[in-house]
Amino acid sequence: MKEFNPYRGRFAPSPTGPLHFGSLVAALGSCLEARAHGGEWLLRMEDVDTPRCSPEAAAGILRTLDRLGFEWDGEVMVQSRRTARYGELLEQLKAAHLAYPCACTRRELADSAPAPDGAAIYPGTCRDGLPPGKAARAWRLRVGDAVVAFDDAVQGLQSQRLGAEVGDFVLLRADGYFAYQLAVVADDADQGITHVVRGADLLDSTPRQIHLQTCLGTATPAYAHLPVALNAQGEKLSKQTLAAAADGVAPASALLAALRFLGQAPPDGLADVAAVWAWALENWRLENVPRARALRAPPAW
């Protein structure tokens, strides 16, 4: 009989372009941490922001992961197929009077101070009802004076005063797409994720996700945020900063570079993908990952 294993991790790329060094680091760290616990490792395509994503990019990421020797469990979850589920959860929040319609345009919010992710801290204009003559554009979550604290396995204790530092945040966007924050909470809950290992660019989003989990009555996973990879200009590697695709590098070298970035010390002479995986599965230690939010990627990338 298969023993119940309480560890289930995941990798959740946004298919906006090819897998690059930064996303490889998140894939490898989340996979090795799951396997080190004898756990499962699931994949999810985060294409909720559909206009920025493409099915070709999603297929390319899966091909690259396969070429790099990753093995995932079960079917790949695809956010763009789950809008009905996100709609159900929004209805649940509306019924609990936790979600409210908002008529504010981006221009009207331009004077508000920025939240950590660059969006405006919502001043609460529509919290007690839409201004007369204005129509709903988006739906927001009422956060009140919630303070969310959690102990990140890499970055240590974190705490955020949601009302003051983020404000009531968007659940359904003015363009009709569900917000990432709602989608990721729905998906982590529905996939039964117990441990989230991902890039530290999402550290500031985590309190919003934990608060949503509390509002929806779903479990809160454990979190570990890995350092984000920066280019020589100090920018986060991404499609926008023209990060090189992992496909341009020999698979074993790509894996070794990601392992070293994550503070692991693979020996010289691991010749092929199978040898690198065998070493990594045996020797992975989360505690060796540098406790930094961001680090320079190796120059060859």
In this chain, which of 33, 40, 46, 168 binds ligand GLU, going by CB under 6 A? 46
Residue type at 223 in one-letter notation = Y
Q: Which stretch binds ligand GLU (CB under 6 A): 8-16, 90-98, 217-225, 258-266?
A: 8-16
Residue 206 near ligand GLU by CB under 6 A: no
Q: How far is the CB of 160 from ligand GLU (least distance, A)?
A: 16
In angstroms, the CA 133 to CA 20 distance is 47
Instruction: Write each residue from 282 to 301 as x if it is in contact with ligand GLU (CB under 6 A), else as -, in one continuous string.
Output: --------------------
Of the candidates 12, 146, 249, 254, which one interacts with ligand GLU according to CB under 6 A? 12
Does 47 help bind ligand GLU (rule: CB under 6 A)? Answer: no
Contacts of 183 (CB under 8 A, 6+ apart): 46, 48, 79, 82, 86
**C-beta of 162 vs 224, nearer to ligand GLU:** 224
For ligand GLU, the binding residue among 20, 35, 137, 198 (CB under 6 A) is: 198
**Residue in the block written with tokens 């009140």:** 144
d(CA 22, CA 20): 6
Q: How far is the CB of 188 from ligand GLU (least distance, A)?
A: 8
Question: First-to-last CA distance in the chain?
Answer: 45
Q: Contact between 224 and ligand GLU (CB under 6 A)?
A: no
Distance CA(74)–CA(221), nearest Å, equals: 20
Stretch near ligand GLU under the rule CB under 6 A, chosen from 7-15, 105-113, 147-155, 224-232? 7-15
Nearest to ligand GLU of 57, 259 (CB atom): 57
Tell me the C-alpha distance between 6 and 133, whole Å: 52
Least distance between ligand GLU and beta carbon 112 (Å): 25
Residue 195 binding ligand GLU, by CB under 6 A? no
Rounded Cα distance, 104 and 95, in Å: 22
Q: Which stretch binds ligand GLU (CB under 6 A): 12-20, 99-107, 116-124, 145-153?
A: 12-20
Burial of 301 (0-12, 13-18, 19+ CB in 10 A): buried
Angle at 254 between CA 249 and CA 259, to 5 degrees: 165
What are the residues facing 41 on neighbouring strands? 9
- Minimum distance from residue 297 beta carbon to ligand GLU (Å): 16
Interface with ligand GLU, residue 13, by CB under 6 A: yes
Other residues' Cβ atoms within 10 Å of the Cβ of residue 279: 18
**Residues in contact with ligand GLU by the rule CB under 6 A:** 12-14, 46, 184, 198, 202
